[in-house]
């Protein structure tokens, strides 16, 4: 993998004393979460709760997936200021999203995600063709490789993972306290490193909600896999976009609720 969970980063977890089922005092690892405020040029956009391991990728991906910048937008700089808990993305064109911020819709992304009205309008125009295939064996391989990868989830829990894959190989594995943050970090990494979405597969440990479907479509990734379940609205949106939605993928079992023609 180009990026995988970094268990050696001591800033991502904290040792805390507690009591086990026998009321014996023990020290366990818990996830650290911190607020980071994102600015686009001179305008404050949002404050996010995050483990803060890749703030630059998170900022870029958030703006991309909210359709505030595009894949062709020239980013002049991404400035992270840890002392101020802020990150500023500067573009070659001045932007103003005051109206968009007024029309936001709160989604199920752990109370942090937002989908803007114009983003949903853009979603209605996007529909995948039937190209791009996934073999059943790839689903099994990816599930096994990802589940066996040492992760913050296995170390401390209370965290979600999202993985960018190609064929049966995981490429970029991001974790965060919210699924939306993890997928945004992948989107930011793809933009920063000019990685094409063609022939890519997206895997998430979390449930397949409307927000995850919208972000996957926004990223132009036509196949999504999860070891968790679905929401009805997520399935409805996936079918409208002709997105392949594979859930409850555990062992040799899975369900496909949309885009089944891509599965071989």
CATH number where 95 lies? 3.10.20.10
21 is a domain residue: no
13 is a domain residue: no
Do 198 and 144 lie in one domain? The reply is: yes
Do 73 and 173 lie in one domain? The reply is: no
CATH number where 215 lies? 3.40.140.10
The pLDDT tens digits of the residues spanning 1-28 come to 999 999 999 999 999 999 999 999 999 9
Boundary-marking domain end, from 74, 101, 123: 123
Instruction: At 256, list the tokens.
Output: 């496909």
Residue 156 lies in domain: 136-262
SS3 201: strand
The pLDDT tens digits of the residues spanning 181-228 come to 999 999 999 999 999 998 999 999 999 999 899 999 999 999 999 999
Do 44 and 158 lie in one domain? The reply is: no
Boundary-marking domain end, from 123, 154, 180: 123
Do 194 and 240 lie in one domain? The reply is: yes
Helix (H) or strand (E) holding 187: helix 179-192
Do 141 and 118 lie in one domain? The reply is: no
- To the nearest whole number, what is the mean pLDDT of the chain? 90
Do 176 and 234 lie in one domain? The reply is: yes
The pLDDT tens digits of the residues spanning 141-173 come to 999 999 999 999 999 999 999 999 999 999 999
Indicate the number of domains in the chain.
Answer: 2
The answer to whether 63 touches 69, Cβ cutoff 8 Å, is yes
* Residue 123 confidence class, pLDDT cut points 50, 70, 90: confident
251 is a domain residue: yes
Boundary-marking domain end, from 92, 123, 154: 123
17 is a domain residue: no
- pLDDT given at position 122: 73
* Residue 113 confidence class, pLDDT cut points 50, 70, 90: very low
Do 119 and 191 lie in one domain? The reply is: no
106 is a domain residue: yes
15 is a domain residue: no
Task: Order the strands of the 253-258 sheet from edge to edge.
Answer: 169-176, 160-166, 200-204, 223-226, 244-250, 253-258
29 is a domain residue: no
Hey, CA dihedral for 161, 164, 167, 168, is it positive or negative? negative
Do 39 and 115 lie in one domain? The reply is: yes
* SS3 track for 230-258: ECHHHHHHHHHHCCEEEEEEECCEEEEEE
* Residue 105 confidence class, pLDDT cut points 50, 70, 90: very low
The answer to whether 242 touches 130, Cβ cutoff 8 Å, is yes
25 is a domain residue: no
Do 118 and 143 lie in one domain? The reply is: no
Do 116 and 146 lie in one domain? The reply is: no
């Amino acid at each position: 993998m180009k990026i995988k969970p970094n268990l050696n980063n001591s800033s991502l977890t904290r040792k805390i004393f507690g009591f086990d089922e026998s009321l014996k005092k023990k020290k366990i690892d818990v996830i650290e979460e911190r607020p980071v405020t994102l600015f686009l040029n001179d305008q404050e956009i949002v404050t996010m709760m995050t483990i803060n391991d890749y703030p630059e990728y998170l900022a870029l991906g958030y703006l991309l997936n909210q359709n505030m910048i595009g894949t062709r937008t020239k980013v002049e700089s991404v400035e992270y200021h840890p002392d101020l808990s802020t990150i500023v993305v500067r573009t070659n064109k001045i932007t103003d999203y005051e109206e968009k911020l007024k029309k936001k819709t709160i989604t199920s992304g752990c109370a942090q995600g937002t989908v803007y009205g114009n983003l949903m309008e853009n979603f209605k125009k996007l529909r995948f063709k039937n190209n791009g295939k996934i073999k059943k064996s790839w689903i099994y391989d990816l599930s096994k490789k990802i589940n066996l990868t040492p992760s913050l989830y296995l170390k401390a829990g209370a965290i979600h993972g999202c993985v960018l894959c190609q064929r049966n190989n995981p490429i970029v594995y991001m974790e965060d306290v919210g699924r939306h943050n993890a997928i945004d970090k992948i989107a930011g990494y793809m933009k920063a490193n000019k990685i094409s979405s063609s022939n890519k597969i997206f895997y998430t440990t979390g449930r397949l909600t409307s927000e995850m479907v919208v972000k996957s479509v926004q990223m132009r990734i036509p196949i999504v896999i999860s070891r968790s379940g679905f929401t009805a609205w997520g399935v409805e949106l996936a079918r409208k976009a002709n997105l392949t939605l594979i859930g409850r993928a555990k062992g040799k079992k899975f369900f496909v609720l949309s885009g089944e023609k891509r599965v071989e």
